[in-house]
Amino acid sequence: MSWIDIGPIDDIPLRGARKIKTALGCVAVFRTGTDEVFAATDTCPHKGGPLSEGIVHGQSVTCPLHNWVFDLNTGQARGEDGAITTFPVRVEAGRVLIDAHKLATRSAA
């Protein structure tokens, strides 16, 4: 895998998110209360809500518009027919890295 450094983990608030812009759309990078980091598309498939503005709880995020809950490991909506795309991320020496290959091959839709 090829990794892109997107910044220090401390730039992402605990139980919060930051949005990064890519050529194919925005990606939300989430940080849990236990310093786990996840990345996924920033748009809820239900009504287009900005997931980076949602509530992070455990390994999930709740859409700020209509309360759909997404598992940040799989992207699957809980109890709903929908999902978001997730991206591999890792933390090295306090820096968040995202998989460049998966990011480049994501759908623009």
As given in the structure block, the two tokens for residue 38 are 């996840």
Q: pLDDT tens string for the chain (109 positions)?
A: 799 999 999 999 999 999 999 877 899 999 999 999 999 999 999 989 999 999 999 999 999 999 999 999 999 999 989 999 999 999 999 999 999 887 776 654 4
Q: Find, among 47, 54, 63, the residue nearest to 31 by Cα.
A: 54
**Domains (range + CATH), the chain:** 3-104 (2.102.10.10)
- Name the helix (H) or strand (E) containing 35: none
pTM to 2 decimal places: 0.91
